[in-house]
Homo-oligomer: A and B are copies of this chain.
Amino acid sequence: MTYSTSEENYIKAIYHLQGDEGMVTTNELSAELKTRPASVTDMLKKLKTKKLLNYEKYQGFRLSNDGRKVALGIIRRHRLWEFFLSEKLKFSWDEVHEVAEQLEHVTSKKLIDKLDEFLGFPRFDPHGDPIPDQHGKIATHERVCITVIPLNHVMEVCHVGNQTAEMLDILKHNDISIGTRLEVRKKFNFDNSLEIRIGRHQPFILSEAVARHVWVKKIERS
């Protein structure tokens, strides 16, 4: 079975919006995809008849098992291309997403499996997100948000949960990227902002809005 670019974009967006539990609403999806709610309803009907979606009128929706499998395939393609662009073509971290959005819709299983092999079966993309394998299995970092880690422990940034241009701008400004080692020096309970230090540099402040999206893991001794 193969799906149109448009169907794939809907499936991917639904996957990202539905967490482990919750339902997704028409308006959320319409905002995410920048289409009108009426268009979303049309597509929902279509995906339902293809059994990719559990959906009843006015009730919200989630991907079915089959839908989730399809989503993982798309995400696999997206993240492998991101890895390729970053690692091999030397695109910068914040440029890869847009191009990968196009490449992910090229459907050839052989292409993706050979690309995976060529890249050395990477398990995480340049944003720190896990890359599903051929069977849809995804590795997991034991990762935590910097809002909850103990003070004065150096850890390594491994994931950024919001990849809008605005967010990437702030992170770039503060020299934070995947792999950056940092520690939280102080928490301000008034606004939940954090004082961060990278290496021996001058510490700086991160608002809660930003901090919520920055995740770290233990430093792996190599």
Contacts and interface: CB of A to CB of B under 8 A. Distances in A.
Interface of A: 85, 88-91, 95, 98-99, 102-103, 106-108, 110-111, 114-115, 117-118
Tell me if A's interface is mostly helix, strand, loop or mixed.
Answer: helix
Contact of A108 (B88, B99, B106, B107): B99
Contact of A111 (B99, B106, B110, B111): B99
Contact of A99 (B89, B90, B106, B118): B106
Q: How many copies does the complex hold?
A: 2
A102 to B, nearest CB: 5
B114 A90 contact: yes
A102 B91 contact: no
A90 B117 CA distance: 11
Given A88-B118, A89-B117, A95-B110, 17 more contacts: A85-B111, A89-B111, A89-B114, A89-B115, A89-B118, A90-B114, A91-B114, A98-B108, A99-B106, A99-B108, A99-B111, A102-B106, A102-B107, A102-B108, A103-B103, A103-B106, A106-B106
A88 B88 CA distance: 11
A37 to B, nearest CB: 26
A114 B92 CA distance: 12
Contacts of A107: 102
Contacts of A85: 111
Contacts of A108: 98-99, 102
22 contacts: A85-B111, A88-B118, A89-B111, A89-B114, A89-B115, A89-B117, A89-B118, A90-B114, A91-B110, A91-B114, A95-B110, A98-B108, A99-B106, A99-B108, A99-B110, A99-B111, A102-B106, A102-B107, A102-B108, A103-B103, A103-B106, A106-B106
Contacts of A90: 114
